A and B are shown apart, each in its own frame.
Chain A
C-alpha cells in the first residue's frame, strides 16, 4: 500500500533521514520506533507532504506522492494525527470533526462517520459542543485521532498518540488503535512507547539516527535482546 524507497530528508545541511526504505501493507499496523531525534516524525512529515524529501521515493497505492502538497496527500487517502495533537483549540469538538472531513462532500456518509468516531470515543460525544482547547490532554488526543478518521483515510498516520497521557488513557488509546484497524483502516504508528506500540503492531521498524537499524515481526522485535535493551528498558 505504502512503499518508501531510499528516502532522504534534510533540514538545511543536516541530514535527518539518510535513505530509509519501508513498506506498509493493506490492513496492517506498522510501527516505527526509535529514540528522540531518530527521525520518526520527519519520516511521517515527508509522507504527509509537509516536508519535501531530498531524495528517494514514496509510493502510495501505486502512485508517487513525494513532492505533493499536504492537502493533495490527504486527497489520496492518507490522514495524519499529528504529534502534540494540534487540534483547533478555539473550535468546538464538532467543528474540529467537521474540519477533518473538509475535503468530503458526501453529507450522509460524513454524518455516518461522525457517528462512528463518536461511538469509538464516547467521551467526545459528551463534549461535542465544548471548545476543544478546554478539554484534558487525553480527550484532545482522542479528538486528534477522531478528526483524522473523519477524512476517511485508507492509511492513518499517528504520531506519538500516547505522549503525555496517563497510563490508563495510554491503554485506552492503544485499544482504540486496534479497534480502528479491525474496522479496516491501515495504520502507521510512531511511538516512543515502544513496548505498547509493538504489542499492537504487526510489524515494526527501529529507526536510529536517520537509518533503519532493524525491522521485522513485532513479536520478534519485542523479544530481541538489543531492542529490549535500548528501548524497552530491559
Chain B
C-alpha cells in the first residue's frame, strides 16, 4: 500500500515536471518565432524574405493558431468524450459575433467604453479584448449547454446529425438576423466590421502588428493545451474516457452520463467561442457567409488527421491543414502553373485534397499522425478480434 502511494506521488511529480518542460519549450518556440519575424526578418536576404512571403507568411501562422484553438476544443468533445460533433461552426459564430457586438461601433445606440483603446467619442460597445475573450467563451459555453442538453441524450450517429443541424441553424440565424422584430442582431450578410484594435500594454495593435497578435494567439492556444492536458489527467478526463469506451459501463461505475457529456460539450464550445472571437480580431470583422459547414468539417478533419484524443497530434493536424488551406495550396499551385505554364486553379481543389488525404489516412494510418495510445487499439480492433475479446 505504501508502495502504491509512493508510486502515485512519483507519477504526479513526473506529470508536473513534464508539464513545466512543455510550458518552457512552448514559450521558447513562441519567442523564437516572434523574435525572428520582428527583429531578424528585415535583415535576411531578399530571397529568404520572398520565400517566407510565399510559403509561410506571418498572417498564415496567426490564422493557423486560431484553428489550433478550435481544434483543441473539438478534440475534447470528439477525441476525449467520443461525441461526434458536426456543428462546431455554431460556437465559432457565437464567439465571432460576441467580438462583433462588444468590440465595435455596431451598437451605435449606446456608448460604452471599458478597457478598450478606441477613442471615447466613438459610439458602440468597446470592451477590452481580454474581457471580450471571457464573454465570448461564456456565451458560447452557455449555448453549448442549451444545445447539448436535449441533443446529448442521443447516441453516436443521431447526435452527429442533430449537431449538424444546429451548426446550420445558428449561422442562418446570424445571416438573417438583420431585423429580428426591428432589432438588428447581426447586420445580416453585410457583417460587422471593423473590429476594435487589441490593446496590449497601452499599445494599439494595428492590422500589421502581426508579431504581437502572434504572441497573444499563441498564449491563448497554449492555455488550451494546458487546459486539455490538465482536464485529461483528472477525474473529469477519466470520466470522459470511460464514456468513450463504454457508456453503460461508465454509468455502472457511477459516472453521471448527462452531466459529464454536457461538460465536454460546454468546454468544447467554450474554446470555440474563444477561437471565434480571436478569428474576428484576425480578419478584423465578422462576415456571416464565412460561418459555413466546411469549418466544422475542416476542424473535424484536423482532429482525425492529427490523432483523436492526442493534444500534440491535433495541433500538428490543425497547423498542417490550416497551412495547406491558406498558403500551401495556392503557393504550390502558383509554382506548378509557372513551371508548366498551366492555369489550374489549385485552391478550388482543396476539398478534393482533404477528402483524398482522409481516405488515404483511413487506409494506411487510421489513428492519425500522432495517435493516442489507446485509440490505436480501437482502430485495429478488427484486425485481430481474438486479442481484444480474450478469445471466447
Contacts and interface: CB of A to CB of B under 8 A. Distances in A.
Contact of A111 (B5, B245, B256): B5
Interface stretch (B55-63, B193-201, B236-244): B236-244
B387 interface: yes
Query: Which of A103, A112, A133, A139 has the largest number of chain B CB atoms within 10 A?
Result: A133
A161 interface: no
B392 A137 contact: yes
B254 A151 contact: yes
Contacts of B252: 48, 50, 70, 74, 79-80, 82, 86, 148
B238 A95 contact: yes
Nearest to A116: B1
A95 B374 CA distance: 12
Given A50-B248, A87-B249, A74 B374 contact: no
Contacts of B390: 133-137, 139-140
B391 A137 contact: yes
A131 interface: yes
B134 interface: no
A100 B254 CA distance: 8
A134 B249 contact: no
Contact of B249 (A69, A82, A136): A82
B241 A91 contact: yes
Given A91-B374, A134-B388, A71 B254 contact: yes
A134 to B, nearest CB: 6
Contacts of A74: 252-254
Among B235, B239, B252, max chain A CB count under 10 A is at B252
Contacts, number: 95
Interface residues of B, number: 30
Given A71-B254, A137-B392, A82 B377 contact: no
Interface in A99-139: 99-100, 102-103, 111-112, 114-115, 131, 133-137, 139
Contacts of B387: 133-134
Interface string A41-76: 000000011100000000000000000011100110
Contacts of B250: 99
A40 interface: no
Contacts of A137: 389-392
Interface string B349-392: 00000000000000000000000001101100000000111111
Main secondary structure of the interface of B (DSSP, over half): helix
A153 B250 CA distance: 16
A192 B78 CA distance: 39
B377 A115 contact: no
Contact of A71 (B241, B257, B391): B257
A30 to B, nearest CB: 20
Contacts of A70: 251-252, 254, 257
A164 B392 contact: yes
B105 to A, nearest CB: 49
A102 B235 CA distance: 8
A69 B250 CA distance: 12
A102 B239 contact: yes
Among the interface residues A91, A140, A148, which one has the most CB atoms of the partner chain B within 10 A?
Answer: A91
Contacts of A148: 252
Contacts of B339: none
Interface of A: 48-50, 69-71, 74-75, 79-80, 82, 86-91, 95, 98-100, 102-103, 111-112, 114-115, 131, 133-137, 139-140, 147-148, 151, 164
Interface of B: 1, 4-5, 235, 238-239, 241-242, 245-246, 248-257, 374-375, 377-378, 387-392
28 contacts: A48-B252, A49-B251, A69-B251, A69-B256, A71-B251, A82-B248, A82-B249, A82-B252, A86-B246, A86-B252, A88-B242, A88-B249, A89-B245, A90-B245, A90-B375, A90-B377, A90-B378, A99-B250, A99-B255, A102-B235, A102-B254, A102-B255, A111-B1, A111-B4, A115-B4, A131-B377, A134-B387, A134-B390
User: Top 10 nearest A-B pairs by Cβ distance?
Assistant: A74-B254, A70-B251, A103-B254, A86-B249, A90-B374, A88-B245, A137-B390, A133-B388, A71-B256, A71-B254
Given A71-B254, A102-B255, 11 more contacts: A75-B254, A82-B252, A88-B242, A89-B245, A89-B388, A99-B250, A99-B253, A111-B1, A111-B5, A137-B391, A139-B390
